[in-house]
Structure 1
Amino acid sequence: MSTTVNVNEDLDKKYELLSKQLDALLSGEPNLYANLSNASALLNQFFDRINWVGFYLMEDGELVLGPFQGLPACVRIQVGKGVCGTAVERKESIIVPDVEAFPGHIVCDAASRSEIVVPIIKNDEVIGVLDIDSPELDRFSETDRIGLEKVVETLIQHL
C-alpha cells in the first residue's frame, strides 16, 4: 500500500509542477489559440503512453476541433455524443478505461483504447474540453482526473 501512496504522491507533485509550468508558459499571452497550442504541446510532453492530446471548443452549440498533438481528429462533435460531448452535457470529467465499452464512442483514431475528458468551464459555461487518448486500456486514474482538473483551472486563467 505504501508504494501506491508514494506513486500517487509523486504524481500529485508532477501535476502541481505541470500547473506551474503551464501558468508560466501562458503568462502575458492573451491569444486563445496560442495558449491552447502551447498547452497541448506541454501536455503531450508531460504524458507518456498517450497518442492524442488536445482541445475541442464550443462553437454554435457543438464542439469544434481546436489545437492538438497527434493524428488528425474528428472535427465536430455534438453535445451528448461520444465521450467529449457527454462530458459537456454532464459538465464533469469522464475517465473511460475501455473506449469500446463506452456507448456511442466516436472513433477518431482506431489505436485509442482509453480516454479522459475534462470540461473547460468558465463563468459556469462549458467553453470546451481537454481530451487525452491512450493506446493502452485503463491508462487514466482518479489522480490523473484530479490533476488535470487543476491544470484546466490554471488554463482557464489564461483564456
Structure 2
Amino acid sequence: MFELAPVEAASKAELYEGLHEQMRGLLHGERDRIANAANFSALVFNAVDGLNWCGFYFFDGTELVVGPFQGKPACVRIAIGKGVCGTAAATRETQVVEDVHAFPGHIACDAASRSEIVVPLFDDAGGLIGVWDVDSPLPARFDDDDRVGMERLCAVFLASLRGGV
C-alpha cells in the first residue's frame, strides 16, 4: 500500500516538487488509466489546499465524460469548446481562470467553485485523451506556479499510461 507522506513546503514550487516525487511512486508500474486517474485525484485533493473538486474528464471521441475525481458529484458530459474544460480541450492549452463567473460559457457543476485550472491531456500522436480539472471555492486560487506544477504532474500521469513511470 502506498503511504501518503505530508508534503512540507515553503513555496508552491516545493509543494509540487514533493507531489511530483510522490506521484511517480504512486503510479510506478501501473498502466491502468482508471486506477491511475483515481489515485492521482486522491493524492492531489488531499495534498493541495483550497480545493473543492479535482478529477478527470476523458474524451470519448465526441465529448468529455467524467472520470475518476474527488469532490461533490460532477457534470457528466461536457462538449468540446464549452466551459473551461471544453475550452482547454479545443485550444490545446491549459486554462487558468481566476473568476469562473467571468468566464464566458462557464459550466457550474458546483456553485461553490470560484476559480479553476484545466490541463488538456494528449497521447504521443497528439490525440486528445481528456482533461485534468481542478476547482477551488477561493477566487484567484491558481497562478502560474500551479499551472507549471499541474502540467508536470499530468506529464507523470501520461507517462504512466505508456509504462514509463
Pick the TM interval, shorter chain.
Answer: over 0.9
1:5 is matched with which residue? none
Distance 2:26 2:101 in 1: 36
1:43 is matched with which residue? 44
Distance 1:74 1:102 in 2: 17
1:97 is matched with which residue? 98
After superposition, the C-alpha distances for 1:25-69 in whole angstroms (9 at most, x for unaligned) are 011112111110000000001111110000000002210000000
More helix by percentage: 1
Task: Compute the TM-score of the two structures, normalised by the length of structure 2.
Answer: 0.89
1:121 is matched with which residue? 122
Distance 2:30 2:155 in 1: 16
After superposition, the C-alpha distances for 1:93-121 in whole angstroms (9 at most, x for unaligned) are 00110000000000100000100001112
Distance 1:146 1:12 in 2: 9
Which residue type is aligned with residue 11 of structure 1?
K
Cα RMSD after superposing both structures: 1.3
2:68 is matched with which residue? 67
After superposition, the C-alpha distances for 1:132-154 in whole angstroms (9 at most, x for unaligned) are 00001100010000111111111
1:82 maps to 2:83:
yes
* Pairwise CA distance, 1:126: 1.9
5+ unaligned residues in a row in structure 1: which ranges?
A: 1-7
Task: Compute the TM-score of the two structures, normalised by the length of structure 1.
Answer: 0.92
5+ unaligned residues in a row in structure 2: which ranges?
A: 1-8
1:3 is matched with which residue? none
Q: How many residues in Structure 1 have an aligned counterpart in Structure 2? A: 152
Identity %: 51
Distance 2:37 2:68 in 1: 6
Q: 1:141 aligns with which of 130, 140, 143?
A: 143
SS at match of 2:11: helix
